[in-house]
């Protein structure tokens, strides 16, 4: 009875052993076709891995270069800002020098005309008196040129005061500079032939300055030797 039960298994094994080579061959052909198709399409695994590695290396290199470029851009921006600051300062200095040169040329022409006029010996006069607003609200600037004519004049020593005419809340009043709180009666003066003066005044922004009168005093004399007024332009 036992040999009869083994016989079907032998037959099955025999048939499978005959088919197996064909199955393996077919699987091999399928895998070969798949791998060949990928390689033909440029998608081979080893090539893909190498390309991925190359791209990762390029990305890392570009990241480093990007950081370096960012640092360089920051340095260039800082240099540009410094250059702009120097250019602005140079422009301001050039404007100041140009203004000074224009004033000197104007002064030269003025004194040439003054010398030709042959004014009275020792005569004291105020020239180029001007009153203008400053950049800050409530601040004003008074400019003037004091001249003492003659060739053998003695040195003038004394001082000057400014009397401002003001309007506040519709009411007119006057104010003296220097103020009594400053502890000085006059702004000091000491020159022989000419003296350029520039005086800054500070008032409350709600006060309107209309005009200024300049009074020149010789030392020891209570009456002003010269007085002159100018309105605000």
pLDDT at res. 215? 96
What pLDDT does residue 107 have? 72
Q: Which residues of the chain have pLDDT under 50?
A: 1-6
pLDDT at 226: 94
DSSP 113: H
Contact 139, 209 (CB under 8 A): no
What pLDDT shows up at residue 64? 86
- pLDDT computed for residue 121 by the predictor: 67
Contacts of 187 (CB under 8 A, 6+ apart): 159, 160, 161, 162, 177, 178, 199
Greatest distance between any 2 Cα atoms in the chain: 165
Terminal CA-to-CA distance of the chain, rounded, Å?
A: 140
Average pLDDT over the chain, rounded to an integer: 80
Residue 186: which residues within 8 A CB-CB, separation 6 or more?
158, 159, 160, 161, 178, 217
Tokens of 179: 């103020």
The predicted structure's pLDDT at residue 118: 55
Task: Please report how many Cα atoms fall inside a 13 Å half-sphere around the Cα of residue 50, on the Cβ side.
Answer: 6
CATH code for the structural domain at 120-231: 2.60.40
Please tell me the predicted confidence (pLDDT) of residue 6.
47
Q: Who's near 206: CB < 8 A, 6+ residues apart? A: 168, 169
| Sequence spans of domains, the chain | 2-43, 120-231
Contact 124, 216 (CB under 8 A): yes
Residue among 123, 121, 120 at smallest CA distance from 218: 123
């Amino acid at each position: 009875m036992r040999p009869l039960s083994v016989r079907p298994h032998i037959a099955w094994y025999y048939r499978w052993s005959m088919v197996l080579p064909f199955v393996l061959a077919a699987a091999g052909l399928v895998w070969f076709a798949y791998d060949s198709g990928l390689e033909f399409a440029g998608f081979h695994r080893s090539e893909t891995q190498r390309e991925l590695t190359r791209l990762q290396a390029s990305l890392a290199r570009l990241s480093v270069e990007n950081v370096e470029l960012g640092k360089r851009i920051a340095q260039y921006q800082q240099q540009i800002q410094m250059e702009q600051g120097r250019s602005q300062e140079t422009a301001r200095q050039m404007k100041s020098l140009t203004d000074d040169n224009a004033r000197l040329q104007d002064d030269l022409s003025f004194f040439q005309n003054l010398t030709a006029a042959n004014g009275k010996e020792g005569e004291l006069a105020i020239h180029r008196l001007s009153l203008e607003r400053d950049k800050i609200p409530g601040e004003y600037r008074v400019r003037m040129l004091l001249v003492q004519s003659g060739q053998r004049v003695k040195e003038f020593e004394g001082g000057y005061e400014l009397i401002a005419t003001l309007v506040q809340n519709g009411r007119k009043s006057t104010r003296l500079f220097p103020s009594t709180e400053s502890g000085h009666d006059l702004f000091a003066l000491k020159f022989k032939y000419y003296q350029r003066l520039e005086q800054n005044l500070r008032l409350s922004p709600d006060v309107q300055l209309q005009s200024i009168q300049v009074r020149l005093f010789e030392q020891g004399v209570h009456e002003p030797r010269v007085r002159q007024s100018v309105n605000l332009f």
